[in-house]
Amino acid sequence: MKSDPVCGMDVPEDGKFRQDYAGQRYYFCSDSCLSKFNADPVQYKSAGSALDSDTAIYTCPMHPEVKQQGPGRCPKCGMFLEPEK
């Protein structure tokens, strides 16, 4: 199993949603997460650790009330937090 760099879900290596970027293969749970990755791969390049400043506010895509300074995981669902836009 691999971790989806966008949402943090465990996904099988033989799943249909995969992408090679900068010499590394990434695995995704859905076309939606793959599309988010393709729109801004640098944000997800380190497998879930956004490369933005640690002073940015991050939020959960599924629980927008969850906010924190810097990257991390949602305490409610475990998804990776994304920078607020």
pTM: 0.59
Cβ of 63: how many Cβ atoms within 10 Å?
Answer: 14
Tokens of 11: 């996904």
* pLDDT per position as a tens digit, 61-82: 999 999 988 888 889 998 888 8
* pLDDT per position as a tens digit, 23-52: 889 999 999 999 999 998 888 765 444 444
Distance, first Cα to last Cα, the chain: 30
Q: Where are the domains of the chain?
A: 2-83
**In which band, very low, low, confident or very high, does the pLDDT at 54 lie, cut at 50, 70 and 90?**
low
